Amino acid sequence: MTFPTIAIIGAGFGGLCMAAELRRAGIDSFTVFEKADDVGGIWRDNTYPGCGCDVPSHLYSFSFEKYRDVSLRYPEQREILAYLQQVTDKYDLRRHLRTGAEIVSADYSEATGRWVIRTATGEEHVVDIVVSAVGQLHRPKLPEIAGREDFRGAAFHTARWDHGVDLTGKDVAVIGTGSSAAQLLPHVARAARHVDVYQRTPNWVVPKPGAEFGRFTRWAFSRFPFTQSLYRALTYFAADIALSPVITRGWSARPAEWVARRHLRRGVADPALRAKLTPDYPIGCKRVLIDNAFYPTLNRDNVNLVTDGIAGMTATGIETVDGKHRAVDAVVYATGFRTTEFLVPMRVRGRGGVSLDERWADGAEAYLGMALPEFPNLFLVHGPNTILGHNSNIFMIECQVGHVLNCLRMLSGPGRLEVRPDAMREYRRSLEKAIGRTVWDGCQSWYRTAAGRVTNPWPASTVRYRRLTRRSPAAAFRVTST
């Protein structure tokens, strides 16, 4: 099949899912453009010590290629990367893969009804369909701290871990206390002489079930493999039923807060330290941490939680607003990602040369997170308002890829497939209503733009998202032949 020709941008979970599903649908006319030298996305980029996933392994895999393991409950970075490489090979995706090919621009030509995409090296490709699957958590955000450039020791972001730097016996500063910091801190604290952890806002932290399955589960998984699928289904529904109400302050919010407070009490004995670690905003406002090692690590003699704001950095360390200067050998920026910029730095122009940057000047949005009026034949995987903090993002990706395939089925030949402005307006209305019910305006987080617009997470249950993406796209999209 040579129509439509499809460019997939990014070879992480989203891009590989799109590619594998196209192969499964018998479509071979696609290329996956990847800026790095291999597949894996964030699971290739994040190699910090302790990097793993707090979503259970069995759930954190494609439904058409279920992860099977009889012993491990949570996957580590290496296992996830190996899984993605295995999917790439099994579905024969390497022959579709162009590595070292960063797409810098995509322009829609009304004359031909096709997209012209360009790589950083100046190559040009003309395709019918573009699927951008660049993710939301891949561009490191370095903090804007006065004097940051002056620091003369080792300094790197969690997603760009410098394995050439040995932290053994060193004095280290970790800036940030999100999921990445919580995972790496126990490892850094064990190696370093001293660690200062700079916390701006405390997080809600809930306990993580044991990493290994018990004996009975291991036996059942080995003896009756279907029980692994059953476990996958159970964890999925349990998360949707019990955790998604947390974001709307629903029935499970108070029990979740209670569990988190008890976890803090059990993990940290010192009341002063506990007070510093107690959030003053509703649970679910920021991504909840699922972790057992962060609190105990803060009790260590060689770890110091600093809650005074950072005033600046010097050649030798970090100065806080109380005038204290703490000298360190290395600084780890666990400061998160540029989440609200979405396709940046790619320059995308749709019909009539309309720029995506201009369309998104007040915050990114897309119909079901996937499509925009005036940008025909362009689809986003993991686009605006599709990321989850309470269930598996792989599930959301599969919903999106399924919807894209249904959209492609509407095209019997060259044509312009575009979401209708009224469908976009209606979707925006219902999305805003759902966001209005959440607790996300109760704090500052990477879910929101600087102006306060929530552009990243999905505000309801994943069952609802599945229902919306399973509907025929015929009512929302129009096809014009070109």
In the range 193-212, which residues lie near ligand NAP by CB under 6 A? 198, 200-201
455 touches ligand NAP by CB under 6 A? no
Q: Specify the stretch interacting with ligand NAP by CB under 6 A; choose among 170-178, 219-227, 408-416, 454-462.
A: 170-178
41 touches ligand NAP by CB under 6 A? no
Peptide bond into 473 cis (omega under 30): no
Smallest distance, Å, CB 25 to ligand NAP? 29
Using CA atoms, how far residue 114 sits from 109, 268, 474, in Å, is: 6, 59, 21
439 touches ligand NAP by CB under 6 A? no
Instruction: Tell me the site size for ligand NAP, rule CB under 6 A.
Output: 25
φ/ψ of 370, rounded to 5, equals -120, -30
Instruction: State the maximum Cα–Cα separation within the chain, in Å, rounded to a whole number.
Output: 69
Q: Specify the stretch interacting with ligand NAP by CB under 6 A; choose among 92-100, 175-183, 204-212, 343-351.
A: 175-183
Question: Rounded to the nearest 5 degrees, what angle is found at the Cα of 301, between the Cα atoms of 296 and 305?
Answer: 70
Q: Specify the stretch interacting with ligand NAP by CB under 6 A; choose among 49-57, 80-88, 255-263, 375-383.
A: 49-57
Residue 119 in contact with residue 101, Cβ under 8 Å?
Answer: yes
Residue 158 in contact with residue 330, Cβ under 8 Å?
Answer: no
Number of C-alpha atoms within 13 angstroms, CB side, residue 72? 15
336, 363, 369, 473: residue in contact with ligand NAP (rule CB under 6 A) = 336
Token readout for 220 is 């059942």
Using CA atoms, how far residue 411 sits from 4, 113, 158, 274, 477, in Å, is: 8, 13, 43, 58, 11
77 touches ligand NAP by CB under 6 A? no
- By beta-carbon proximity to ligand NAP, the closer residue of 4 and 186 is 186
176 touches ligand NAP by CB under 6 A? yes
31, 158, 248, 461: residue in contact with ligand NAP (rule CB under 6 A) = 158
- By beta-carbon proximity to ligand NAP, the closer residue of 330 and 334 is 334
φ/ψ of 379, rounded to 5, equals -125, 150
CA distance 216 to 96: 43
Strand order in the sheet with 330-333: 154-157, 330-333, 171-175, 194-198, 303-306
Q: Specify the stretch interacting with ligand NAP by CB under 6 A; choose among 107-115, 265-273, 331-339, 373-381.
A: 331-339
16, 298, 334, 348: residue in contact with ligand NAP (rule CB under 6 A) = 334
Distance of CA 99 to the CA centre of its chain: 21
54 touches ligand NAP by CB under 6 A? yes
Q: Specify the stretch interacting with ligand NAP by CB under 6 A; choose among 51-59, 404-412, 451-459, 464-472.
A: 51-59
Between 280 and 319, how does the x/- string for binding to ligand NAP read (CB under 6 A)? -------x----------------------x---------
Q: Is 294 helix (H, G, I), strand (E, B) or coil?
A: helix
In the range 376-405, which residues lie near ligand NAP by CB under 6 A? none
Please report, as ranges, the residues that interact with ligand NAP according to CB under 6 A: 53-55, 137, 143, 145, 158, 175-181, 183, 198, 200-201, 287, 310, 334-337, 446
